[in-house]
């Protein structure tokens, strides 16, 4: 019970750590994204951290909240907006999130990798109060993917501050929070309950089928959705924050960020922070010997490219007769987003073109990223009329 | 938004919702799991039994004792077992299964998953569906 309460409190403090994003007219989803990015960067830069050292930002954020709330009492527009909202069309989205939550909390959508390394690394980092590079580059730990970006394990470590043991159920439940916040971002951006419900039902289903609870996909999905929403809203600062989060969450997040910057961003204000964070992480990993400890068995093979494309085409069905792609194709119009999705698919075909790729283990999880890009091609058309 | 687009969105939303419910039911429906992996993966019963065994080890073995987790009939998975051990034994010191090999610094305890440990230096002190906990006696 105590472990669960600590996880909840520390997760709520992530919102406070991101309160500085208020200057960009942010919403709660953005606070959470900004909080995660802030804490992850703090934990990497600090080296060995202390609980109180990391607490400074969340506490400052809470004080800021309190001051801002006192000032806001003169203006109640946000409250009015909420109370005027018609809740009935939100029910399908809430239902999708409920089904996802029940499945996750029944331990029926847990990733094996959560037990192998996402949760394990988080617990280790918290125990050592540092991003433990010595532990990561130990040859015995190569199966734990030392080169993976550290945001999710660092988030788990944050929730453990002062304790020896991770709340494994709480960490698993964070998948629900990530999907809920992504749905909220879609709802706020499109102002369409239909799109929010479609997004929630589709990605709840895919998250269950791909057993992603506890690993980094839900966090990556959240950052990707937020970045694309912010780009549509022409909010460069929030897009940059979300792309920083994607870069620090998974290697695919870095590829996503590069594609988005090249095809959709095009403004230096969007590109600079995520590229700086990506460069910083790669330098950190390189200087600490984390890149060298990658498994050498998976070298690119040109001869595997065509089989890789064929198998990828098969995996794209999601075991659902290609229904997610068909549904979005019926609505899609933004060629930029379709091009971005195709670019990501090309990256996947290349990355899986190797003798021991085991595409069947992971491709459908990774395919959620091009699907998100494709999904936004439908939203664009709607907004442009 | 046009009526046609609304129809497409809501039709697929309802279809995906129905498929989600089906998926949840196929995975055993709503339950109160004993471990984080009780209803996931290819062999959930075995995974659950193994995690319960490790939980027992985490609660009963002395803090900082050296513990190896090993599948005696699946040594190919030593690296995976070490990763799991680091996570599930937060108060003990997980060591690689190679510590059991000749010339290695033998651990104080071994958690043997799925099969008995055939090593004369160890005696079983606990047995469960997922395997056993063994203590070094020689």
CA–CA dist A306, A284 (Å, integer) = 35
Asked if A221 and A306 sit in the same domain, the reply is no
Asked if A310 and A230 sit in the same domain, the reply is no
Asked if A175 and A272 sit in the same domain, the reply is yes
- Residues B80, A116: C-beta atoms closer than 8 Å: yes
Ordered DSSP codes for A235-299: -HHHHHHHHHHHHHH-HHHHHHHHHHIIIII-SHHHHHHHHHHHHHHHHHHHHTTTTTTS-TT--
Q: B31 near A106, Cβ under 8 Å?
A: yes
Q: If you average pLDDT over every residue of chain B, what do you get?
A: 94
Domain membership flag for residue A368: yes
Residue A168 clears pLDDT 70, i.e. is over it = yes
A119: closest CA of chain B, how far (Å)? 7
Asked if A234 and A307 sit in the same domain, the reply is no
Q: Residues A114-163: pLDDT tens digits?
A: 999 999 999 999 999 999 999 999 999 999 999 999 999 999 999 998 78
- Residues A127, B88: C-beta atoms closer than 8 Å: no
Nearest to A198 among B9, B39, B82 (CB): B9
Give the model's pLDDT for residue A84: 53
Ordered DSSP codes for B87-127: HH-TTSEEE-GGGGSTTS---SEEEEESS----TTEEEEEE
Domain membership flag for residue A72: no
Could you give the ipTM of this predicted complex? 0.95
Asked if A229 and A375 sit in the same domain, the reply is no
Cα–chain center distance at B81: 8
Chain A partners within 8 Å of B31 (Cβ)? 106-108
CA–CA dist B36, A298 (Å, integer) = 30
Mean pLDDT (whole number) for A266-271: 81
Ordered DSSP codes for A311-364: HHHHHTTTTTTTHHHHHHHTT---HHHHHHHHHHHHHHHHHT-STT--HHHHHH
Please give the residue range of the domain that contains residue A345. 297-385
| Choice among A178-182, A322-326, B103-107 with the minimum mean pLDDT | B103-107
Give the model's pLDDT for residue A85: 58
- The helix/strand/coil state of A117 is helix
A88: closest CA of chain B, how far (Å)? 14
- State the pLDDT confidence band at A73, using cuts at 50, 70 and 90: low
- Residues A323, B28: C-beta atoms closer than 8 Å: no
Asked if A202 and A263 sit in the same domain, the reply is yes
Question: Distances in Å between the alpha carbon of A147 and those of A121, A255, A298, A332?
Answer: 12, 15, 14, 36
- Is the torsion defined by CA of B89, A117, A55, A68 positive or negative? negative
Give the model's pLDDT for residue A86: 66
Asked if A134 and A206 sit in the same domain, the reply is yes
Instruction: Quote the number of domains for chain A.
Output: 2
Give the model's pLDDT for residue A1: 66
Asked if A7 and A22 sit in the same domain, the reply is yes
Long-range contact pairs involving A31-35 (C-beta distance under 8 Å, separation at least 24): A32/A177, A32/A181, A33/A222, A33/A223, A33/A226, A33/A238, A33/A241, A33/A242, A33/A245, A34/A241, A35/A61
Tell which wins on pLDDT, B16 or A47. B16
Give the model's pLDDT for residue B2: 86
Give the model's pLDDT for residue A356: 77
CA–CA dist A149, A213 (Å, integer) = 18
Q: Residues A320-345: pLDDT tens digits?
A: 999 999 999 999 988 999 999 999 99
Domain membership flag for residue A169: yes
Domain membership flag for residue A314: yes
Asked if A281 and A331 sit in the same domain, the reply is no
- State the pLDDT confidence band at A4, using cuts at 50, 70 and 90: confident
Largest CA distance in chain A: 67
Asked if A247 and A323 sit in the same domain, the reply is no
- Residues A115, B27: C-beta atoms closer than 8 Å: no
Asked if A173 and A227 sit in the same domain, the reply is yes
Give the model's pLDDT for residue A72: 63
CA–CA dist A201, A90 (Å, integer) = 12
- Residues A323, B12: C-beta atoms closer than 8 Å: yes
| Alpha-carbon dihedral A41, A135, B70, B126, rounded to 10 degrees | -80
Asked if A51 and A135 sit in the same domain, the reply is yes
Given CB atoms, is B105 within the 8 Å cutoff of chain A? no
User: Which candidate in A100, A107, A123, A192 is best for mutational testing of the B interface (most B CBs within 10 A)?
Assistant: A107
Give the model's pLDDT for residue A324: 97
Given CB atoms, is B137 within the 8 Å cutoff of chain A? no
Q: Residues A50-60: pLDDT tens digits?
A: 777 777 777 77
Domain boundary among A278, A295, A312: A295
Give the model's pLDDT for residue A78: 46
CB pairs under 8 A between A and B: 154
Domain membership flag for residue A89: no
Burial class (CB in 10 A: 0-12, 13-18, 19+), A71: exposed
Q: Give whichever of A40-54, A290-304, B109-123 has the largest mean pLDDT.
A: B109-123
Nearest to B41 among A95, A112, A320 (CB): A112
Question: Distances in Å between the alpha carbon of A142 and those of A116, A134, A293, B89?
Answer: 11, 12, 6, 19
CA–CA dist A30, A36 (Å, integer) = 10
Q: Give whichever of A148-152, B2-6, B40-44 has the largest mean pLDDT.
A: A148-152
Which residue, among A190, A194, A245, A193, has the nearest Cα to A221 in the 3D structure?
A245
Which residue, among A111, A138, A163, A120, has the nearest Cα to B86 in the 3D structure?
A120
- State the pLDDT confidence band at A82, using cuts at 50, 70 and 90: very low
Q: If you average pLDDT over every residue of chain A, what do you get?
A: 89
Q: pTM for the full model?
A: 0.93
Chain A partners within 8 Å of B29 (Cβ)? 106
Residue A80 clears pLDDT 50, i.e. is over it = no
- Residues B8, A99: C-beta atoms closer than 8 Å: no
Give the model's pLDDT for residue A297: 60
Q: For the packed helices A151-159 and A28-46, what is the interaxial angle rounded to 10 degrees? A: 90
Residue A385 clears pLDDT 70, i.e. is over it = no
Give the model's pLDDT for residue A298: 67
Residue A76 clears pLDDT 80, i.e. is over it = no
Mean pLDDT (whole number) for A230-238: 90
CA–CA dist A30, A14 (Å, integer) = 11
CA–CA dist A380, B77 (Å, integer) = 47
Give the model's pLDDT for residue A232: 85
Q: A183 near A221, Cβ under 8 Å?
A: no
Residue B75 clears pLDDT 90, i.e. is over it = no
């Amino acid at each position: 019970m105590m472990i669960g309460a600590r996880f909840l409190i520390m997760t709520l403090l992530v919102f406070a750590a991101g309160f500085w994003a208020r200057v960009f007219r942010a919403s709660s989803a953005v606070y959470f994204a900004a909080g995660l990015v802030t804490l992850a960067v703090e934990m990497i830069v600090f080296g060995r951290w202390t609980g109180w050292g990391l607490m400074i930002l969340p506490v400052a954020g809470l004080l800021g909240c309190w001051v801002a709330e006192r000032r806001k009492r003169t203006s109640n527009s946000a409250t009015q907006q909420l109370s005027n909202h018609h809740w009935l069309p939100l029910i399908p989205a809430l239902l999708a999130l409920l089904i996802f939550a029940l499945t996750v909390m029944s331990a029926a959508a847990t990733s094996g990798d959560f037990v192998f390394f996402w949760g394990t690394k988080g617990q280790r980092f918290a125990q050592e109060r540092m991003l433990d590079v010595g532990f990561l580059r130990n040859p015995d730990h190569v199966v734990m993917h030392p080169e993976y970006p550290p945001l999710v394990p660092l988030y788990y470590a944050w929730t453990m501050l002062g304790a020896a043991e991770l709340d494994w159920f709480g960490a698993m439940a964070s998948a629900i929070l990530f999907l809920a916040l992504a749905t909220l971002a879609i709802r706020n951006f499109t102002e369409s309950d239909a799109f929010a419900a479609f997004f929630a039902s589709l990605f709840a289903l895919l998250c269950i089928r791909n057993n992603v609870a506890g690993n980094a996909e839900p966090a990556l999905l959240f950052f990707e959705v937020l970045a694309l929403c912010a780009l549509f809203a022409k909010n460069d600062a929030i897009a940059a924050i979300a792309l920083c989060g994607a870069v620090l969450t998974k290697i695919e997040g870095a590829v996503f960020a590069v594609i988005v910057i090249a095809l959709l961003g095009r403004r230096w204000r969007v590109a600079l922070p995520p590229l700086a964070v990506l460069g910083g992480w790669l330098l950190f990993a390189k200087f600490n010997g984390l890149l060298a400890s990658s498994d050498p068995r998976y070298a690119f093979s040109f001869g595997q490219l065509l089989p890789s494309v064929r198998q990828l085409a098969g995996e794209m069905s999601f075991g659902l007769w290609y229904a997610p792609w068909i549904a979005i194709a019926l609505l899609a119009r933004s060629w930029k987003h379709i091009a971005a999705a195709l670019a990501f698919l090309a990256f996947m075909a290349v990355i899986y073109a190797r003798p021991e790729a085991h595409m069947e283990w992971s491709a459908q999880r990774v395919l959620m990223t091009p699907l998100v890009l494709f999904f936004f091609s439908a939203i664009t058309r709607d907004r442009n009329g | 938004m046009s009526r046609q687009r609304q129809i497409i969105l809501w039709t697929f939303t309802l279809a995906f919702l129905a498929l989600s419910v089906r998926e949840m039911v196929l995975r055993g429906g709503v339950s109160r799991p004993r471990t984080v992996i009780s209803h996931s993966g290819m062999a959930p019963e075995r995974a659950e039994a193994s995690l319960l065994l490790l939980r027992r080890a985490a609660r009963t073995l002395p803090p900082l004792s050296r513990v190896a987790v090993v599948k005696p009939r699946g040594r190919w998975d030593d690296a995976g077992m070490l990763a799991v051990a680091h996570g599930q034994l937060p108060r003990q010191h997980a060591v690689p299964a190679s510590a059991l090999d000749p010339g290695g610094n033998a651990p104080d305890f071994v958690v043997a998953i799925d099969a008995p440990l055939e090593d004369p230096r160890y005696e079983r002190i606990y047995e469960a569906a997922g395997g056993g906990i063994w203590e070094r006696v020689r």
